[in-house]
């Protein structure tokens, strides 16, 4: 007899990842049948006409086929060639050999230098792990932290469902803490205390708190006081912190700026809170989702625990080398004065400028629709508007109907978590300006007619 | 307080992956201190001077930076350019966007065509998953199969420790079945029956059997009767089969040939046994370990179960696109008559010819050492010789001493599993001829002196 559905484990069955859940699955099906779909369900910039930046792609092409250096002289700028040479030497065997389980040391050192320059703090290449995108790093950290079925992980609500899916799959307890929609999705000590107390009262041992900054799906950008408050909360309750900082380049409001948990932690002199920070090549202005590059930096974790993390990474050998080199290009971009710099800076600024415009355009468009309310999109790549639904309808039904009638694919708020009695959806801000207008128009007509 | 070792879960702590375990870890340390180390612990061909094949690397360079097609005309052969164009069109957005969770459909179809041509059987692109190397596919299948702590997975002894590590991490039961060293590591029905009976008697519900063909670390190549026997055994006991076929191109003995489980299963008309087959770009003659490309093909699995597998894949979004395209180049190589074919064929034959020579050279060399006995290396990339140890010594101690005294890094047999009372180590056959001679000489002197 073949495997049957009723033999599957409950952890597998309960795992849900809405970003690729029932609505996107139905959208793919419709697309295969010939419908034109606008995929707003996922932050996948290059699927929305965003061009890859020239510099990392030139470096990667040379690393793939170093013969180009001699066979096609004069094609690539000198600094691209120098970088490719440095990478080939630093990896020792190029892109085709397994690296250390934690990643190529030369690249981990470059990540360390990047953090050092960004934050003005000391780093250690031995505490840096190169990963297949940030997702794999998050999964590694959660695998380490969840030791049994009563271990809880605090997760923002709304959250990016990688967190809920992974905690479910690893059979831990998801402990949600609400973000305050009425105050631009800010995070408050009261909400954290309340959530922790409820969990502790029901016998859960809370092990860690996840923070996404800038927020996904909320777009909120944390300030120093907020981050400091989370660190104090973690210390008081013996929690580790998972800081998802993949949108650190995507900050749109004048006056806001990204601050890392690592920086605030070091400046506070905090040594008793374990920190896992994540970054990725998929977001920011590179948008290289398909290359699966990223890193995890850890702090305040004893060597015997780190050795276990490294062991877990080693079972599937190492992160893909192309992604590792893409990460190198992210953390060591061309500098002013280098031949590639002007084009690099122009491409970077153009992508970020476009995203900033779209964030405003989309939020304003949504707010013009009666029955839809959207906070300002301060960062990241998403809007998470609140919608008024007819009695008895769910946001899943709403999103499914939206898809069927308009071809727009968004993700129901229930996939991210939301206050009971409220309904939302998540959409990326990524469609080009003309498509954003189409999205807003169709949504407006759909929303008015939805009963 | 930071995370402490004593808070970690037992599944994490018990997980062991010897290929990157204590001996290789010590070797890395010695290398950093300036010692010259010969890393025979891992099948990492490009770390042993094996050059990447030109064709896939040219295709990948063009896909990374399509501007080369116009900026450097005449550099790459026409079929490389045509392939790169087809890939860019087939992926829709090139290498920088997430693909479907199961991988780019165009590449899954090419994998289907490859299996169809290799085996003369029908395939279905919806039953093919592109994965970051074969390891991630194996982990997905085991995640699906292990539903609780009494679920058992049959694993050959000796085995590749990905299997034991993953079963431990997912908290299933490892059910070992011995391969017969006295008969060239053949697999026998008696051994399977005995192992299953013991497990069942102790309350384990056996869910699947893993077979590695050609064998890792044994090198044994299964014939049709052997494969058919395993399929019958699986049907009689309601087991799924995991067929690890990553060494399918690495068959060295005249008269032997690789046969897939899928082919034998279809030819038997077997529809009641679920099959997961794995292949990879890391082995064979490509040796592209760092690109992390591979696929899993499944058969006889109901759609509702497949949907769960797809959901699990979706949580970390998709396999890296570079690896997916490398997989495309593996399954759709240049054909006779195409411009790239002559060089491709020459590079392929040179790699395989070298490996065939080294397999013989190493096994013969080992067998000349008194106290070491090695079966013929019929396939894959390893020798797994049996060693006679002084009373009271373990193979871990032996391998550690070998490393300290000679700089040769091999993996103790205990990391793979072996009959109680026997001792072995695993070494790759990958070092170039002159280095193999060095390895054999140093081993010989070391073994004679080891007390």
Region A252-273: what's the mean pLDDT? Answer: 96
pLDDT at B17: 80
**Optimal mutation site among A3, A94, A238, interface B, most CBs of chain B within 10 A:** A3
Question: Is the pLDDT at B428 greater than 90, yes or no?
Answer: yes
A61 neighbourhood in chain B, CB within 8 Å: 61-62, 64-65, 68
pLDDT at A143 over 90: yes
Taking an 8 Å cut-off on Cβ atoms, the answer to whether B44 and A97 are in contact is yes
**Taken in order B263, B268, B271, B273, is the CA torsion positive or negative?**
negative
Query: What's residue B317's pLDDT?
Result: 86
Contact A325, A400 (CB under 8 A): no
B97 Cα to chain A: minimum distance (Å) = 4
What pLDDT digit, counting tens, does each position of A232-249 carry?
999 999 999 999 999 999
Q: Quick one: closest CA in B to A93, which residue?
A: B47
Query: Inter-chain contact A312–B240, Cβ cutoff 8 Å?
Result: no
Q: What is the pLDDT of residue A21?
A: 83
Is the CB of B47 less than 8 angstroms away from the CB of A93? yes
Residues in chain B within 8 Å Cβ distance of A131: none
Point out the residue among B13, B42, B317 whose CB comes nearest to the CB of A135: B317
pLDDT at res. B325:
98
**Residue B187 near residue B156 (C-beta atoms within 8 A):** yes
CA atoms lying within 13 Å on the CB side of residue A6 = 1
Contact call for residues B43 and B215 (beta carbons, < 8 A) = no
Residues in chain B within 8 Å Cβ distance of A71: 72, 75
Output the average pLDDT for chain B.
94
In this prediction, residues A360-375 reach a mean pLDDT of 94
pTM here? 0.95
What are the pLDDT digits (tens) for B76-118?
A: 999 999 999 999 999 999 999 999 999 999 999 999 999 999 9
Q: Express each pLDDT in B135-151 by its tens digit.
A: 999 999 999 999 999 99
Which string of b and e fits A271-287 if b means at least 16 CB within 10 Å? eebbbbbbbbbbbbbbb
Q: Chain B residue closest to A42 (CA)? A: B98
CB contact under 8 A, A290 and B94: yes
- CB atoms A62 and B62 under 8 Å: no
Rg of chain A on CA atoms, in Å: 22
Mutation target among A2, A68, A77 for the B interface, most CBs of B within 10 A: A2
3-state SS, residue B4: coil
Q: What was the pLDDT predicted at A418?
A: 93
| Lookup: tokens for A362 | 């989309």
Nearest-CB residue to A17 (from B133, B315, B319): B315
Give whole-number Cα distances, B192 to A217, B159, B248, in Å: 51, 14, 23
Q: What percent of chain B has pLDDT over 70?
A: 100
Residue contacts between A and B (CB atoms, under 8 Å): 271
Q: In the predicted model, is pLDDT for residue B73 greater than 90? A: no
Of A2, A9, A240, Cβ closest to residue B302: A2
Testing the interface with A: which of B47, B49, B98, B265 to mutate, by most A Cβ within 10 A? B98
Cis omega before residue B313 (within 30°)?
no
Residue B16: per-residue pLDDT: 83
B327 has pLDDT over 80: yes
Q: Which pLDDT value is given to residue B18?
A: 75
Identify the residue whose tokens are 């800010």: A186
Compute φ and ψ for A409, nearest 5 degrees. -105, 110
Decide if pLDDT at B19 tops 80: no
Question: Does residue A141 carry a pLDDT above 90?
Answer: yes
Give per-residue pLDDT as tens, A72-87. 888 999 999 999 999 9
pLDDT in tens, B358-393: 999 999 999 999 999 999 999 999 999 999 999 999
* Closest chain A residue by Cα to residue B272: A1
- What mean pLDDT do residues A125-136 have? 96
pLDDT at A73: 85
Say whether A319 and B292 touch across the interface (CB within 8 A).
Answer: yes
What pLDDT, on the 0 to 100 scale, is given for residue B74?
A: 87
Q: What is the 3-state secondary structure (H, E, C) of chain A?
A: CCCCHHHCCHHHHHCCCHHHCHHHHHHHHHHHCCCCCEECCCCCHHHHCCCCCHHHHHHHHHHHCCCHHHHCCCCCCHHHHHHHHHHHHHHCCHHHCCCCCCCCHHHHHHHHHHHHHHHCCCCCHHHEEEECHHHHHHHHHHHHHCCCCCEEEEEEECCCCHHHHHHHHCCCEEEEEECEHHHCCECCHHHHHHHHHHHHHCCCEEEEEEEECCCCCCCCCCCHHHHHHHHHHHHHCCCEEEEECCCCCCECCCCCCCCCHHHHHHHHCCCCCCEEEEEECCCCCCCCHHHCCEEEEEECCCHHHHHHHHHHHHCCCCCCHHHHHHHHHHHCCCCCCCCCHHHHHHHHHHHHHHHHHHHHHHHHHHHCCCCEECCCCCECCEECCEECCCCCCCHHHHHHHHHHHHCEECEEHHHCCCCCCCCEEEEECCCCHHHHHHHHHHHHHHHHHCC
Q: Are B175 and B155 in contact (CB under 8 A)?
A: yes
Lowest mean pLDDT among A143-152, A312-321, A374-383: A312-321
> Which residues lie below 8 Å from residue B70, measured CB to CB, with a gap of 6+?
none
- How far apart are alpha carbons B143 and A124 in whole angstroms? 34
Per-residue confidence (pLDDT) for residue A366, from 0 to 100: 94
Question: Cα distance from B138 to chain A (closest Cα, Å)?
Answer: 10
Residue of A nearest to B49 (CA): A93
Q: Does the beta-carbon distance from A12 to B323 stay under 8 Å?
A: no
B451 CA to chain A: closest CA distance, Å? 31
Task: Count how many Cα atoms sit within 13 Å of the Cα of residue A24 in the half-sphere of its side chain.
Answer: 25
DSSP B395-416: HHHHHHHHHHHH-EE-EEGGGT
Which residues of chain B does A287 touch, with a Cβ-Cβ cutoff of 8 Å? 96
**ipTM of the prediction:** 0.95
| Alpha-carbon distance A53 to nearest alpha carbon in chain B (angstroms) | 10
pLDDT confidence bin for A115, thresholds 50/70/90: very high
pLDDT score of B1: 87
Q: How far apart are CA A122 and CA A184, in angstroms?
A: 33
pLDDT of residue A398: 95
Of B68, B288, B317, the CB nearest to A133: B317
* Mutation to test the B interface, candidates A60, A72, A96, most B Cβ within 10 Å: A96
Interface contact flag, A97 B15, Cβ < 8 Å: no
* Contact assignment for B238 to A1 by CB distance below 8 Å: yes
Q: Residue B381: what pLDDT?
A: 94
By C-alpha distance, the chain B residue nearest A236 is B1
Cβ–Cβ gap B132/A308 under 8 Å:
no
Least confident of B9-18, B27-36, B429-438: B9-18
CA distances from A237 to A27, A41, A141, A177, B275 (A): 43, 36, 19, 15, 47
Cα–Cα distance for residue pair B87/B297, rounded to 1 Å: 21
| pLDDT tens digits along A9-68 | 888 888 888 777 889 999 999 998 999 999 999 899 999 989 999 999 999 999 999 999
pLDDT tens sequence across B292-314: 999 999 999 999 999 999 999 88
Mean pLDDT of chain A: 94
Check whether B122 has a pLDDT greater than 90.
yes
């Amino acid at each position: 007899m073949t495997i049957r559905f009723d033999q599957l484990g409950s952890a597998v069955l309960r795992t849900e990842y809405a970003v690729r859940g029932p609505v996107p699955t139905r959208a793919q099906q419709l697309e295969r049948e010939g419908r034109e779909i606008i995929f707003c369900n996922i932050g996948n910039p290059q699927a929305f006409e965003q061009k890859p930046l020239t510099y990392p792609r030139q470096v990667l092409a040379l690393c793939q086929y170093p013969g180009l250096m001699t066979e096609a002289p004069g094609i690539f700028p000198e600094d691209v060639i120098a970088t490719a040479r440095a990478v080939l030497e630093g990896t020792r065997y190029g892109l085709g050999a397994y690296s250390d389980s934690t990643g190529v040391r030369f690249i981990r050192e470059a990540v360390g230098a990047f953090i050092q320059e960004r934050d003005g703090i000391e780093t250690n290449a031995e505490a840096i792990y190169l990963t297949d995108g940030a997702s794999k790093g998050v999964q590694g950290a959660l695998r380490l932290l969840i030791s049994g079925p009563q271990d809880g992980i605090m997760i923002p609500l709304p959250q990016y469902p990688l967190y809920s899916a992974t905690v479910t799959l690893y059979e831990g307890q998801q402990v949600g803490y609400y973000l305050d929609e009425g105050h631009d999705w800010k995070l408050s000590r009261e909400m954290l205390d309340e959530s922790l107390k409820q969990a502790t009262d029901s016998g859960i041992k809370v092990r860690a708190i996840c923070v996404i900054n800038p927020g996904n799906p909320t777009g909120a950008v944390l300030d120093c006081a907020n981050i400091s408050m989370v660190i104090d909360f973690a210390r008081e309750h013996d929690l580790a912190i998972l800081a998802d900082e993949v949108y650190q380049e995507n900050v749109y409001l004048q006056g806001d700026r990204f601050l890392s948990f690592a920086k605030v932690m070091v400046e506070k002199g905090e040594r008793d809170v374990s920190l896992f920070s994540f970054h990725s090549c998929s977001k920011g202005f590179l948008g290289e989702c398909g290359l699966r590059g990223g890193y995890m930096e850890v702090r305040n974790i004893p060597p015997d625990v780190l050795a276990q993390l490294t062991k877990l990474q080693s079972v599937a050998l190492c992160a893909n080398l192309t992604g590792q080199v893409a990460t190198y290009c992210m953390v060591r971009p061309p500098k002013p004065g280098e031949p590639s710099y002007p084009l690099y800076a122009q491409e970077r600024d153009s992508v970020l400028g476009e995203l900033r415009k779209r964030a405003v355009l989309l939020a304003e468009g949504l707010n013009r629709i009666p029955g839809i309310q959207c906070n300002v999109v301060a960062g990241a790549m998403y809007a998470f508007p609140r919608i008024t639904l007819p009695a008895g309808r769910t946001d899943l039904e709403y999103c499914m109907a939206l898809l069927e009638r308009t071809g727009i694919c968004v993700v129901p708020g229930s996939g991210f978590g939301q206050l009971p009695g409220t309904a939302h959806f998540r959409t990326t801000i990524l469609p080009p300006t003309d498509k954003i207008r189409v999205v807003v128009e169709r949504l407006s007509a759909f929303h008015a007619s939805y009963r």
